[in-house]
Each structure stands twice: as C-alpha cells, then as structure tokens.
A and B are shown apart, each in its own frame.
Chain A
Amino acid sequence: EAGVTQFPSHSVIEKGQTVTLRCDPISGHDNLYWYRRVMGKEIKFLLHFVKESKQDESGMPNNRFLAERTGGTYSTLKVQPAELEDSGVYFCASSRGRDFEQYFGPGTRLTVT
C-alpha cells in the first residue's frame, strides 16, 4: 500500500509569490489533514477534510492560505501571497476515519525569502 505522498519536497519562493503544495493521501482514506511546523515551533494543525468537505479549518492562520480537495482525492494547499513567516515544513496526513491513527507524508519544506 502506497503511503501519503507530498509534492514538492522542497520549495523556495520569494515573498509575495504564490506556492501550491499537493498531497495525495492513501487510497481509500476519506480523512485528510494538513499540519505545519514553522521554525523552532511545534507541529500545528491547519485543517481537516472529510472527503471533499472541510471538517475543521480552525488552524488556518489567515486568508492567504487556501486548501482544496476537489473530488475527495488529493488536496492542495495554496499560499498567496507568501510571507517570510510562512517558511516551515508542511505535513499532510490521512486516515480511514473512526480511529486515531493518522499516516503522515514526508512533508514539503517551504522557504520564503
């Protein structure tokens, strides 16, 4: 069974530019989550999809961040415009639902210069 995959693995952009991160969950997992770790801080929850619906987006820092999951398969997280404080590692996770185990992807390291 393939794991959660994320693309790109690393992205370097300038302040003000736009970046789109992609996450492909494990096949059949209806629940998809985005987390991030900014420099020196703890891993923080961003949002949670159940299929294509946003279940909880309480962790989204501001309206520069937009997450989508069209068709309930892969998800994208767009940052527009990017700011310096957005630098960090963005993790995606998925789960079957109704249990506590979330499977994480390797993360996308975003560097905003």
Chain B
Amino acid sequence: LAKTTQPISMDSYEGQEVNITCSHNNIATNDYITWYQQFPSQGPRFIIQGYKTKVTNEVASLFIPADRKSSTLSLPRVSLSDTAVYYCLVGALRNTDKLIFGTGTRLQVFP
C-alpha cells in the first residue's frame, strides 16, 4: 500500500471549515483513498472514500486532483465533537487487505 504523509496536528475553531491534506506520491492506478476518524478510547471509523475528483457525503468532502498524488479531506463547520485523529489511507478497493495506518492528523477544535 502507498505511503501517506499528513500534518501531525491542526487546530481550528467551531464553525470553521477544516481541510486536511494528505500526500501519496506513489499511489497506484488501482488505489483508492480512504479517510478514517478516531476518537479517544474508540476504534477508527470510516469517513469517506474516493478515487478521483470529488466525493461528498453527509460528513465530509474529499477532493482529489487529477494526478491523485494528494487528497484533501474537508470538514464543513466543525464542532467540538470533531476533535479526533484523522487518518488517510491508500489501497485498492475490493482488496480486503490489511489497513496501514500512518501517524494521522490530530485535529483540535476550540470553542
């Protein structure tokens, strides 16, 4: 699976939009980009997944440029409850292989 690089931490305030960028320069043609969220004392939770362009669900948006060497997770109007660690993972869809977690980005939302 492709290696990913993310910022270690980010701070934001309630109501703001947060964008977390992940670099994955050696992404393969068959790889998808997936983001997980982890709250303290819980297991990681799937947020969103995409292959190219833009994907949006009720929680977040995922922007992927044409070269797919990076991706940006966008959280609209964050609240205190969005304080968590966010992981960017790259791997093939329909490949129920092991997930490889990096260090993730620790997002702290302030009131």
Residues of A near any B CB (own CB < 8 A): 4, 31, 33, 35, 42-45, 48, 50, 56, 58-59, 91-93, 95, 97-107
Ranked 5 nearest A-B pairs via Cβ: A104-B43, A45-B98, A43-B101, A101-B46, A91-B43
User: B-side binding surface: helix, strand, loop or mixed?
Assistant: loop
**Smallest CB gap from B39: residue in A:** A106
Interface centre among B49, B92, B98, B102 (most CB of A within 10 A): B98
Residues of B near any A CB (own CB < 8 A): 32, 34, 41-46, 49, 91-103
**Smallest CB gap from B44: residue in A:** A104
Please tell me if the beta carbons of B49 and A101 are within 8 angstroms of each other in the complex. yes
**Smallest CB gap from A104: residue in B:** B43
Query: Can you list 18 A-B pairs, Cβ within 8 angstroms, ordered by A?
Result: A31-B96, A33-B98, A35-B101, A42-B103, A43-B101, A44-B101, A45-B99, A45-B100, A48-B96, A48-B97, A56-B97, A93-B43, A99-B96, A100-B95, A100-B96, A103-B46, A104-B44, A107-B43
